[in-house]
Amino acid sequence: MGVPRSKHTKSRRDKGRTHLFLKRPTLVSCPKCGASKRPHAVCEKCGYYKGKEILKVLESLNKKERKKREKEIAIKEKKEMGSKKEKPLDLKELSKK
């Protein structure tokens, strides 16, 4: 069995441990609901992946949580629809301004 000739110093010991630390997980925002999620994974909040519903999240929730989640989704969809319904300006509207 090998026996070390001399003691390793603290700095030499710590140099060997440079890669032993916790890394912050990579997160991206979900395009459907905006929640942060791991990349290339199903969103735990809405159950969508690449624009398709993979998990039916609302069915697994109890009644109170389901209502709350449905309200959040409805509010978010209203905001998206409101920004998309902008009418192009007509000549009459331009003359009024």
Please tell me the distance from the alpha carbon of residue 57 to that of residue 65, in angstroms, as a whole number. Answer: 11
Q: How many structural domains is the chain composed of?
A: 1
Contact 14, 20 (CB under 8 A): no
Is residue 67 assigned to a domain? yes
Query: What pLDDT does 56 receive?
Result: 84
Q: How many residues does the chain have?
A: 97
pLDDT of residue 74: 85
User: Is residue 54 situated within a structural domain?
Assistant: yes
What is the pLDDT, as a whole number, of residue 39? 95
**Does residue 5 fall inside a structural domain?**
no
Q: Convert the pLDDT of each residue in 18-75 to its tens digit.
A: 888 999 999 999 888 888 999 999 998 888 899 888 888 878 788 888 888 888 888 8
Residue 11: the pLDDT is 94
Does 11 map to a domain? no
Residue 51's φ and ψ, nearest 5 degrees, are 80, 5
Q: What residues make up the domain containing 70?
A: 25-83
The pTM assigned to this predicted structure is 0.51
- Please report whether residue 61 resides in a domain: yes
φ, ψ for residue 49 (rounded to 5)?
-145, 125
Distances from the Cα of 12 to the Cαs of 16, 17, 87, in angstroms?
A: 7, 9, 68
Q: Tell me the sheet residues that pair with 18.
A: none
- 58 falls within a domain: yes
